[in-house]
Amino acid sequence: MGHRLRHPVKGRFREPRLALLPVPFALIALVTTVDVLAPPGVHLGPFLVAAPALTASFSGPRMTGFVGAVAVLAQAVVAVVRTNLTDLNHTIQIVALVLISVFVTLFAHLREVHERQLTQLRSVAQAAQQVVLRPLRERMGPLRLASVYLAAEAEAQIGGDLYAATRTPDSTRLIIGDVRGKGLEAVGEAALVLGAFRAAAHQEADLPGLVAHLEAAVVADPDDPYEANGEVAPYDGGDASDWHREQFTTAAVLDVPDRDMTLRLVSCGHPPPLLLRGGRVLPLEVDHPAPPLGLTEFADGGFAAQSFPFERGDVVLLYTDGVIEARNAAGDFYPLAERAADWPGDGPEALLRHLCADLLAHSPGGHLGDDAAMVAIERIG
């Protein structure tokens, strides 16, 4: 399955704007006709300002200025037909229409500049995230893998969803996580976690040791001026319960042995993976979950791995909270476990295709409010 999916509606966001272009011209024609035919005491010219104002809400400065010029020309025609251009009432209407058209054209220019800046920023963030999120191999040992990344709307900031998989001599190790926050800062934090995972997955003998390495990498962030010098950030006098590191990452880290029909899981504040077996969906909830990475001050002890059966033909679904927190028009969350149970069973790629289509159908207009990622793992050997 493709590594990254975008909403199909994004490529067509200009089509509704093009469909609206006849509206201001129709409005100008209607107001002009009625104003010419109206009794002498009735003046509808002020309504012409609605044409350039409406255009500025969906089009650029050139079209807005053009519509404003057409509206001014229409007002001049009305003045000539009804009285003359030097009539005080029509002169004031024309001057006011020119000023308002200039104002809304400037507004359309500023809005277009802002949209261009947002598009450039998001392109940079997406490029950075594409470097961070490498495509997963379809086969790793006795496993078949599929992954998908669903981007939120263009107006939303890109998130810090992450996933990766790597091989050891006798197992496959995987991670899925979600960095608190948005934008390039979240992407940078995701890169830090993934870099630490790829470096330590081959070195740490056990899963708790690997997660402890990730925790140490997150806490010892060299970009933090206090942590880099081995200092403690100053207390600002606020509530002591709120005095902690603001950046953290929820994560689920798995180790799947090649010869043992089990998987080992350490959960750090992340939604539980789902095990699909024989039409049933079972959440893999650990007995002793750890806090998210970066919040060691709240940990009661070390990291503990818990084992779950993972037999041939089973599929494990990993996901971020952007999936289960997607709402429909009624405000209901997406029922992931229930929809996964409807999957007929034909490999991890088919599962993700099924869930992606269903998730976008669940969200109003197929628009997600937050980025979402899913990884499906099937044991075939």
Are residues 30 and 104 part of one domain? yes
Pair (176, 42) in one structural domain: no
69 and 156, same domain (yes or no) = no
Report the number of distinct structural domains present in the chain. 2
Residue at token pair 């893998």 = 145
**Shared-domain flag, residues 340 and 253:** yes
pLDDT of residue 242: 43
**Per-residue pLDDT, 153:** 59
Question: Is residue 16 pLDDT above 90, yes or no?
Answer: no
Q: Do 109 and 153 belong to one domain?
A: no
Q: Which tens digit of pLDDT belongs to each residue from 68-98?
A: 999 999 999 988 888 887 788 888 889 999 9
130 is a domain residue: no
CATH classification at residue 219:
3.60.40.10
Full domain range(s) for residue 194: 136-223+245-379
**pLDDT band for position 40 (50/70/90)?**
confident
State the pLDDT at residue 7: 41
Write out pLDDT tens, residues 317-371: 999 999 999 999 999 999 999 999 988 878 899 999 999 999 999 999 888 888 8
Whether residue 234 lies inside any domain: the answer is no
Last residue of a domain, one of 123, 145, 172: 123
Query: How far is Cα of residue 136 from the mean position of the Cα atoms in its chain?
Result: 20
CA nearest to 2, candidates 381, 356, 362: 356
Q: Which residue has the higher pLDDT, 88 or 17?
A: 88
Examine residue 77 and state whether it is found in any structural domain, yes or no: yes
Helices 183-200, 88-132: axis angle to 10 degrees equals 10
- The pLDDT of 231-242, averaged and rounded, is 42
**To the nearest whole percent, how much of the chain has pLDDT over 90?**
53
Flag whether pLDDT at 176 surpasses 80. Answer: yes
Mean pLDDT of 122-128: 69
Are 255 and 207 in contact by the 8 Å Cβ rule? The answer is: yes
Domain ends where: 123, 148, 172?
123
What is the overall mean pLDDT for the chain? 84
Picking from 101, 123, 145, the residue at the C-terminal end of a domain is 123
Instruction: Give the model confidence (pLDDT) of 187-215 as tens digits.
Output: 788 889 999 999 999 888 899 999 999 99
Q: What is the pLDDT of residue 17?
A: 67
* pLDDT above 70: residue 12: no
Q: For position 368, what pLDDT does the model report?
A: 85
- pLDDT value at residue 296: 67
The pLDDT value given to residue 157: 52
Provide long-range contacts, Cβ within 8 A and 24+ apart, for 263-266.
263/307, 263/308, 263/310, 263/316, 264/207, 264/305, 264/306, 264/307, 264/308, 265/207, 265/305, 265/306, 265/307, 265/308, 266/207, 266/208, 266/211, 266/290, 266/303, 266/304, 266/305, 266/306
Are residues 275 and 200 part of one domain?
A: yes
More confident site: 3 or 65: 65
pLDDT value at 124 more than 80: no
